[in-house]
A and B are shown apart, each in its own frame.
Chain A
Amino acid sequence: MTDLLSNLGLGFAVALSLQNVALCFLGCLVGTLIGVLPGVGPIATIAMLLPITFGLDPVGALIMLAGIYYGAQYGGSTTAILVNIPGEATSVVTTLDGHQMARQGRGGIALGTAAIASFFAGTVATVLIAALGAPLTRLALIFGPAEYFALMVMGLAFAVVLAHGSVLKAVAMILVGILLSSVGTDLETGQERMTFGFAFLTDGVDFSVLAMGLFGIAEILRNLDQSETRDVVRAQIGRLLPGVAELKQATPATLRGTAIGAILGILPGNGAVLGPFASYTIEKKIARDPSRFGRGAIEGVAGPESANNAGAQTAFIPLLTLGIPPNAVMALMVGAMTIHGIVPGPGVMTKNPNLFWGMIASMWIGNLMLLVINLPLVGLWVRLLKVPYRLMFPAILMFCSVGIYSIGSQPTDVMLIGVFGLMGYLLIKFGFEPAPLLLGFVLGKLMEEYLRRSLTLSRGDLMIFLERPISAVLFVIAFAIIAAALLPSMRKSRDEVFTEA
């Protein structure tokens, strides 16, 4: 305990230097900015801003880059709520209830709840990293391919619950999502799958391209053919910040979301993407009235948002204690450390205590700054909703195009958002929901990879999934979730034959 305090003391001494506070603020500001712009992701931005950090000391540089990362995570939620575009895989679920709240004129409350829930989760996650970072690393090491496969299967089970319409359609969408994720070069054999010889498909479909198309462009197309809804968006704006009653309602969800997100974030196999989905599923399952979800339930924003932010924070654990980057942004941080002469690995914590504890302290400061930056901005964002839609949608379209182009400098990616936009529009027309598809897509790639790796390791023995206790438990949970989702709908379909399931 005294160790922890003295370590944190060292961390805050480093992070609170004038230069580092300024850099942290700058990072958070830039991150929020690029997070809010649809399509522009933290990867392209951090990569381009790396040279600017060359002149800084390594701690300052990493504090700024980390600020961009969680600023972008946070800003992505703003876009998800305001215009229904998830900037990151982790903000897909925020679109479900967050955007509904915005449509009901409760956009300010949604944004405020997201900010406060994120801050709370960030604070808890920071303490968690400081206190338990090193022991938690062991958790990262007991997860092998079989456990990750089981985890992904559980994630897909969540996706079934995510949908609020027909379960059958949700399952179909998940399968289509996984199918779509298998397009591209096969990891194990290097063969091209279903690319039809198109060079731009050899690396598969980028998440942002799919999300921007299915959500951003499809939403535009949908709004264009129903003039009533777009007036709903600009209805009365209501209160700007959540009141006591709303915060009370959101608190339990925030607590649960924080716990779930923090645990999943530690897993280096990109477990953090599951956090928001898991949180949403749990909130919906334990809610007294699950039908509120998808129609603007505040818990559907608070839970996933806190899970998202907690996971974004604890994802630093495998990076800082093991030197293993759990996702592309963290891989970039590894590069940044290397450029600054720090080789990431298990020794960073003991060899560079300034860096390690300084970064941890700066995370909390960064979260505070995000709150300070974003709460006043809520009013501004909400006013944006008043812009007439005939001007709003060309602007969104242009930002999506620029953002997507900035990711890979490929004009074909921009065209693909059009293709997926049309696809998303058709899906909506036929009563399908795009969120399960996107989740299937995100998890599908990982799932196949882990499945094949597990079976190669076990030489084809399926028992590997049941012999290992963690994987067995995760499978049991997955089947329980699916059963719980399917049973009521089956009963319902018997009872209410004449209403659509």
Chain B
Amino acid sequence: MNWCSRGIRNAFRNLTRTFSLIIILGLSIGLSLAMFISHQAVTQKINNVKGSVDNTISIFPAGLRGFAGGGTPLTQSQLKSVSALPHVVQLNETLSDRLTSSDTNLQSAVSAGFLGRRFAGNGFGGNVKFTPPVTVNGTTSPTDLAVSAATTGGGSFSLLSGTVFSGTSNSNVALVGTGLASKNNLKVGSTFTAYGSNISVVGIFSSGTRFGDNQVVMPLLTLQRLSGETGDVTAATAYVDSVTNLASVTNKIKAVLGSAADITNSQQQAQNAISSLQSIQTISLYSLIGAVVAGAIIILMTMVMIVRERRREIGVIKAIGSSNLRISGQFMAEAVTLTIAASVIGILIGAVAANPITNMLVSNSNSSNSSAAANPGGGVFRQRRFSGAFGGLHHSFANIHAVVGYGIIGYGLLAAIIIALIGSSVSSYFIAKIRPAEVMRVE
């Protein structure tokens, strides 16, 4: 038997104390592990959110929004310098126009109604017999309806039949909204006229809104050619690799396009989403530190108590020739044994508790944020913005899932052993201070 096996055996010298200590330390290690797993899961989610949620920059010609306002179209050559900027992963461009009865044989699927007539009265010289025109969008990304949101309300693209044309195509092809297709009896393979040319329907889609389903989507180059607006763009959306780069890329685009464009981004919404996740991350980190410190204190105090209790025994071992180092090693082996035994329990607790703890943190944070969002004090517009942000956030929270892998278990064990070694190293100081002469004194 050597110092190491003596240490291991000493760990089970007092079974009641050993059992109690293993349970307490196991709880501490379990909580540490659960918090570590939770922290990892939230950190990963933050990175995902940063990479995917609303990391877009909207670019419009200065003074224009949809079919309101005025100004000069942007050009594709201007936007080339935007797509070349660092962190811009994609740039979708759109040219929007309205097809009236003189431009097309298509009949609008949306009736004017009260609002249409009112808008027509204001906007079209009091023409109360106004029929809403058909909106046509030429785009480099046919499935991205967000880029034409200003003219058609955006929505989610869903192909009902046919195929989607290439964003770089220059053919006379179009995707037709399902409402417009029904109104004009169009199917895949049908043709209609626009700008005096025949256009083939290659697909029918739904956007989820009646207005959005009353539109025609063409390749950007095709619409530019047919409408005689070569190189013009009325809206563009830049996608940034991470929300953390959103502000800097926005500033760079502003610098590139200057006063020619109005540029906005979704920074605030993204920040709201991330700040909520970050608060969970902070809570889990502090809890992790707290649990680790608690574990370290438990093992430290236990080892100090054990050393004090065995002063005489340590004195005897010194008296018969052992070095302080060897005795410290024995106590370290004891501490590591206790900690490994506690780690087994801790890992089980951590594996079971990680997901419930993460969910609890998420639901607490989510409910507090929802209540904050319910009355943000910023009017209807702000309320809608926040509701949207937290709606997305709730969705992202629902997908947070803590995973217990072998790597995490390994890290947990390593951390526990380090805690044990640090905890028992303090007891080494007390061991060194014990004078062997004390054992000569009869108690």
Q: Do A and B bind each other?
A: no
Interface residues of A (CB under 8 A from B): none
Interface residues of B (CB under 8 A from A): none
